[in-house]
Each structure stands twice: as C-alpha cells, then as structure tokens.
Copies of this chain bind each other. A is one copy, B any other.
Amino acid sequence: MSRPSHYDRHTALDQAMQLFWRQGFHATSLKDIERALDMRPGSIYSHFGSKEKLFRESLERYTRLGLAELERALDEGPTPLRALADYLRGLGTLYDQALPSRACMLVKSLLELDEREAAAREHVNTLLAGMEARFHQALETSRRRGELPDDLDTRRLARRLQADVMGLRAFAQRDIDRQAVEELAEDMARTLESLGTSGHRDGVRH
C-alpha cells in the first residue's frame, strides 16, 4: 500500500476556513493558502481540486460548526424561544471573541460572489437555507408547545430571525464599541421574546 498521507485534512480545512472567513474568496491568494496550510500547490490541488472547491469545503465546515453552536444553544435554553433569544444575546459578545471576522462567513460570501463563481454562490444559498430551516424547526417546536401564538407564521419569523443575525453581525463588523453591539443583540432578543405567549409584555423597549 505504502506512503500514507501525512497531512491532516481536518486541520488543513480548518486553516483554510479561517483564512477565507477573514479575507474572503477574492482577497485570498494561493500563496496565502500555501502558507496557512503549510502545503505546496501540487499537494493542495491533489487534495482539494481547486481554490473554489477548497472554498466550498470551507463554507461547509463553517456552516457545520455554526449549526452545532446553534444546537448547543437550543439544548441549553429552557425553551426553544428563550434559547433563540439567548442565542442572539450570545452574538452580542462577538466583539470580545478573537474570530477571523465578526461578520458571518456565509453573508460575506453571499455579498462577495457573483455569477462568475456561480457554483460557490449556489452553495452559499443552500447553506443559508439550511440555517433558516433549523431556525424554523425550533420555532415550530416552540409554537406547538404553546410558547408562541398558534396562528404565528413561523417560517416568516425564521426569516426575520436570520435577517436579525445577518444585520447584527454585519453591524458588529463596524468600527464601533462593544456596548453598542451588546445592546443591539439585547434589543433583537427582546423583540423575539415579546412574541411569546408568556406573561412579560414589556418586550421591545428597554
């Protein structure tokens, strides 16, 4: 059989993801990738096919991690609705975390890619739809439990929630103080909670 592959696919993909997340697709060169993965071009191409394919795999890995984080939040919350609100609040601490970017990699990609990278763009759309579907599922569970009004359109609310996350994380990318981001997250969380059927109707205002 002979010469087992020395490289660690997991680690390599992780490095690629962080690089693309920070710099975006176009601003990241093969030289950057070679440096980050500590691999030579021939090796990179034999394992990943092309820059765009590596990018797509990075997007997938990013999304898998993001969904896992959401799952964790849903497990921790007392109810689905509260969990989602707390998930929003959690994004308010984005500012302190040493991430490649405070903005969402999927949104960065969505705004960066056009028809010339159609395959990758389509991939981003699919992954975003997946995130939205998970939001929807959680909200639907919440509604069935009676935590949300029975006639509430959970698909519509799931889209709102996703737009909130997009807006929050794009806003957090601004050169702005951390308190502003925390307050924004808190306001969005309150708006979401205010839809609940439970007592506290103080909701939106602070």
| Set B24, B149, B194: member contacting A26, Cβ < 8 A | B24
Candidate in A152, A188, A204 with the most chain B CB atoms within 10 angstroms: A204
Q: Is A195 an interface residue (CB 8 A)?
A: yes
A200 contacts across to B, CB distance below 8 A: none
Docked CA distance A69–B205 (Å): 28
Considering only CB atoms and an 8 Å cut-off, how many residues of chain A contact the other chain? 47
Q: A22-B114, A27-B26 are in contact. Are A163 and B168 (CB under 8 A)?
A: yes
A175 to B194, CA, bound (A): 29
Complex Cα–Cα for A175 and B101 (A): 24
Assess whether A35 is interfacial by the CB under 8 Å rule: no
Nearest chain B residue, comparing its CB with the CB of A109: B111
Q: Are B206 and A184 in contact (CB under 8 A)?
A: no
A168 to B149, CA, bound (A): 24
Report chain B residues within 8 Å CB of A112: 24, 26-27, 108, 111-112
CA distance A159 to B168 in the complex (A): 10
Q: Which of A154-176 contact B (CB under 8 A)?
A: 156, 159-160, 162-168, 170-171, 173-175
- What are 24 A-B pairs at a CB distance below 8 A? A23-B114, A24-B26, A24-B112, A27-B114, A107-B170, A111-B173, A125-B175, A149-B205, A152-B205, A156-B184, A156-B206, A159-B180, A159-B183, A160-B184, A163-B167, A163-B170, A163-B188, A166-B167, A166-B170, A167-B168, A170-B170, A194-B204, A203-B204, A204-B204
